[in-house]
Amino acid sequence: MNPLKSIPMTVALGFVLAIIISLSYGDGDPALNIYSLMTWLHVFFGVIWIGLLYYFNFVQVPAVGEALADEGGPGPVAINKYVAPRALWWFRWSALLTWLSGAAALEVMGIGLKNAFTLSGDGQIIGIGAWLGTIMLFNVWVLIWPNQKKILGIVDASAE
C-alpha cells in the first residue's frame, strides 16, 4: 500500500515527517524543538488555507460562473455538490489550525497572546499579524461559512 496514493495518508505522512524533523532540530533544546514544530505547523496550515483561498477566487468562482452560462453543460452542480463542500471543509479547518498553531508559537516564543493582542512589549510587530489572522479566522467561520452553507443548499435559505 502506497500512502502517497491517498490524500489523508499523504497529509498524515507529511505530518509525521515534519514532527520527526522538527523534534530532531535544535541541539537538544526542547523549547527550540517545540517552537520549530509550531512554526512548521503554522506555515503548513497557512499554505493550505491561503492556497484554497486562491483556488476559490481564481478557479472555483469563475468556473461556477462559466457553468451557469453554459446552457448545454452540466451546470455548477458538480462543483457545488462534490468539490465545494470538501474544499470548504479544508478551508475552514486549515484556518482554525493556522490560528491555533500561531497562538502556540507565540506562547512557546515567550511573547504570549496577551502581549501580541495588546501590541505591547515584544508583541508589537507580531501582534499586528495576530490581529490580522484573527480577523481572517472570524471572516472564514462567521461570514463565509454560514453564507456558503446557504449557497450550497446545506441549510435552507430563500433566493435572496
pLDDT in tens, the chain (160 residues): 788 898 889 988 988 887 787 777 666 666 667 888 888 889 999 999 999 999 999 998 888 888 888 888 777 887 888 889 999 999 999 999 999 999 999 999 999 999 999 999 889 999 999 999 999 999 999 999 998 888 888 888 887 7
Residue 145, CA distances (Å) to 12, 34, 92, 103, 141 in order:
25, 32, 8, 22, 5
Q: Which are the contacts of 159, defined by CB distance < 8 A and separation ≥ 6?
A: none
73-160-59-137 Cα dihedral, nearest 10 degrees: -150
What type of residue is 79?
Answer: I
| 3 state DSSP class of 6 | coil
